[in-house]
Structure 1
């Protein structure tokens, strides 16, 4: 790899890490404002379920980039808060199916204005084309990393 390419990648990666941290900080602050007992990690699990409603535990672990063992206490807490249920997979009893409850759906509605603020703040000054280009570029990088 050329030295010039390295010089481009270092600030790119620095900015990528900074954006990831800014997203986390944004949601941590806003969730705290809701006066809920939800951690950022629990929010990540809920966010997966808000897209699919019912998912096996391994899919959630993959989506939030955590091991199944570290995911278990997060799901336990969400069950205690009555935001999700956990049931055995009828096909494979080793798998657990995590399902959003009505309370979990209600919490999603509380989060809708926060998501709108997030999209407004983080997308400010970007055109639709820039967002599409960045999405394609990040998908390519992710594909390279996962291969």
Structure 2
């Protein structure tokens, strides 16, 4: 009995499921680690802090695009971070309505504490994969994402 060949759309669907499952597992494990550090922090809040550690000073719209959240969700999350003194909003000089988001020293400290734990999990997920395998997969996923634009 021959195994039926999967068509490109079925393979793309399976890839999407696999990516979603990996993200879900990583998220659960990272949240467990976050809970040990501070039970009041959520994965979403830490995700934004991590993003700002690499792109400090971007605006809420850019944050929303990078973490795939809508405007109202991002506003809620940023307000939460501001109340905790983990980020601050700073108005652009040319446009006071538009605000840049910056990490505070307290926010930087949390990133410096939690980020290494998250990297350990990603390293575990990478296992014995070679760098070129990950780079090729990353290129593939970016191409597929661009096809949806």
TM-score of the aligned structures, taking structure 2 as reference length: 0.87
Partner secondary structure for residue 54 of structure 1:
coil
Hey, what's the Cα distance between the residues in 1 that align with 2:139 and 2:56?
26
1:97 corresponding residue in structure 2: 100
Matched, 1:73 2:76: yes
Hey, what's the Cα distance between the residues in 1 that align with 2:39 and 2:25?
21
The runs of 5 or more residues in structure 1 that have no matched partner are none
Partner secondary structure for residue 55 of structure 1:
coil
CA contact (8 A) 1:58 1:95 kept: no
Hey, what's the Cα distance between the residues in 2 that align with 1:30 and 1:99?
24
CA contact (8 A) 2:50 2:115 kept: no
1:20 corresponding residue in structure 2: 23
Deviations 1:30-56 (A, max 9, x none): 111112421111112112101022111
Q: Give the counterpart of 1:139 among 135, 138, 142.
A: 142
Matched, 1:63 2:60: no
CA contact (8 A) 2:45 2:77 kept: yes
* Bigger RCO of structures 1 and 2 (CA < 8 A, at least 6 apart): 2
Runs ≥4 residues deviating over 4 A: none
Partner secondary structure for residue 85 of structure 1:
strand
Q: Which moved more, 1:95-104 or 1:107-116?
A: 107-116
The 1:25/1:47 distance shift into structure 2, 3 A limit, reads: same
1:82 corresponding residue in structure 2: 85
2:8 corresponding residue in structure 1: 5
Deviations 1:37-78 (A, max 9, x none): 211111121121010221111111111111222211211111
Matched, 1:45 2:52: no
**RMSD (CA atoms):** 1.8
